[in-house]
Homo-oligomer: A and B are copies of this chain.
């Protein structure tokens, strides 16, 4: 058995001469006899090491030949800009640098690997142990009509945590996009059931659909890459014929008011439709970020303006055809992440939710990016002060180790699928639904992040993360002349660079030089056009965040100088 193991894995076997048992032997003869064996061992180790370095040296080139990277124009990625990642430990990449003869250097993963990451080094070790155990114990076992411990524990933790007070069911899938598509199906069924469409459908045994369902959504929000998820987003660079030949945009898309910090002050930025309405408003600034989230704003004039605008929009026929209905509201609570790290006025979103509830329109929270402490709270219901009927989670759900998504739903939503026929059930599911490893990782991460024993950033009895970004530095950066606006909340610090024309927007390469400099400082960032951000994990220490801000601030100064030079040329 052991021999076959060695054979299978080509484990080299070296045999030393027997060690002398005579206590008086000074072993010199034995060492002499062993010389060749030790030399062989050294050769094997050296050759393994140099093979590994060889592989790392070649890997950027080979990657460029076989990978098709997502969201990447390959023409813009020469071999020397490819990052060779040898490993990660907690928040840090170990990067192998071929050219500079530096070999391995550390870089802080400041884009949290597309916002998935959360583990510190200890949690990563814990998750590694759990992944090995769970793969050995369960591999993957199918989910429908079955139960196994990791899935049950994970579902219950979700309902007791992010779904507390409103959710009664957990539907698992693989990523944010699929979680959103499932949410849309749930919402439309609930809407059809509440508004007599379902009854009409059954009574007349219709084959053809009698209504066209649309979503109510916000401009600038992003809900994933699959076509169904894309239909819930307003036209953008992602939705054109070039990218999504089938996109039509099945929604009424409202332009939301946003908030941001500039020159140390939090400001409200109003969309065009509000300009005429709000000339009377005394003040469009806030004394602090807490002030933005304060529920006293519900009684303000602005709340009334928001409310009557939305109510007016809902009473209008949103589409061209006579049978259009708005069958769901979908929002990214508080932060429009992929849309450029915009903070939406939470008062506007709360009013929106309440108006939809009055119209019996099911409410979906897309918490794929913002859930699980990304915004400093476990779920954004805590920030918005209202709950959805359906909510989607992914990314940080597993602590950032493995893909898994969950769509949570209220009892009423679930009940609209219950009946005697299988055809009334939600006929949607992916092969690895509720896969054991994903559920085990999620269960561990959910508990880890909210326990003050494992997460030193937890305050307020597990309801809040302490402030991670040094307020003084944040204000300083927000006052920098190269910076148009700053948004900071929970694990996110984002800024938009002042830029005009082709330098602005998603396709812009304006931030590239800044990003490259910061990578040299050991900060791995990726831009969203002229928006850049730092993102840490829920357990990252405020001191680490402070160092990141200091590095960013320093490079901003240089960036400005380069820009000034360019202008003066």
Please list the residues of chain A having a beta carbon within 8 angstroms of any beta carbon in chain B: 8, 55, 59-60, 62-63, 66-77, 81-88, 93, 109, 111, 113-117, 119, 124-125, 127-129, 131-149, 151-152, 155-156, 159, 168-172, 174-178, 181, 185, 188-189, 192, 198, 201, 206-210, 213, 225-229, 231, 237-238, 240-246, 250, 327, 394-395, 400-403, 409, 414, 417-435, 437-438, 453-454, 506-507, 509, 526
| Chain B residue nearest in CB terms to A86 | B148
Chain B hits for A178, CB < 8 A: 174-175, 177-178, 225-226
A-B CB contact pairs (8 Å), 14 listed: A66-B169, A68-B426, A69-B145, A70-B172, A70-B428, A72-B422, A88-B141, A109-B141, A128-B139, A213-B245, A243-B428, A395-B431, A401-B437, A403-B403
Please give 8 more A-B residue pairs, beta carbons under 8 A apart, in addition to A71-B422, A213-B245, A421-B507.
A67-B169, A71-B428, A75-B420, A76-B420, A82-B145, A87-B138, A174-B403, A394-B431
Query: Which residues of B sit under 8 angstroms from A156, Cβ to Cβ?
Result: 62, 66
Given contacts A428-B70, A431-B115, contact A241 B138 (CB under 8 A): no
Q: Which of B68, B238, B437 makes the CB contact (< 8 A) with A170?
A: B68
* A82 touching B147, Cβ below 8 Å: yes
Q: Which of B73, B114, B151, B206 contacts A431 (CB 8 A)?
A: B114
Query: In the docked arrangement, what's the CA distance between A125 and B419, Å?
Result: 42
Q: Is the CB of B181 within 8 A of A227?
A: yes
> Does B68 contact A422, Cβ atoms closer than 8 Å?
no
Give A417 to B159 CA distance when docked, in angstroms.
Answer: 43
Given contacts A83-B146, A147-B63, A402-B437, contact A418 B75 (CB under 8 A): yes
Nearest B residue to A145 by beta-carbon distance? B77
Q: Are B139 and A114 in contact (CB under 8 A)?
A: no
Kindly state the separation between the CA atoms of A409 and B501 in the bound complex, as whole angstroms.
35
Contact (A145, B175) CB under 8 Å given A68-B426, A75-B418, A431-B114: no
Task: Compute how far the CA of A132 lies from the CA of B126 in the bound complex, rounded to whole angstroms.
Answer: 10
Q: Please, how many angstroms separate the alpha-carbon atoms of A400 and B141 in the complex?
A: 9
Q: How many angstroms from the CA of A240 to the CA of B228 in the assembled complex? A: 15
Q: How far is the CB of A21 from chain B (nearest CB, A)?
A: 23
Does the CB pair B135–A421 fall under 8 Å?
A: no
CB neighbours (8 Å) of A453 from chain B are 8
Q: Find chain B residues with CB under 8 A from A427 CB.
A: 71, 225, 237-238, 243
A76 to B123, CA, bound (A): 40
Contact of A146 with B85 in the complex, beta carbons under 8 Å? yes
- Taking CB atoms, residues of chain B closer than 8 Å to A131 are 131-132, 134-135, 437
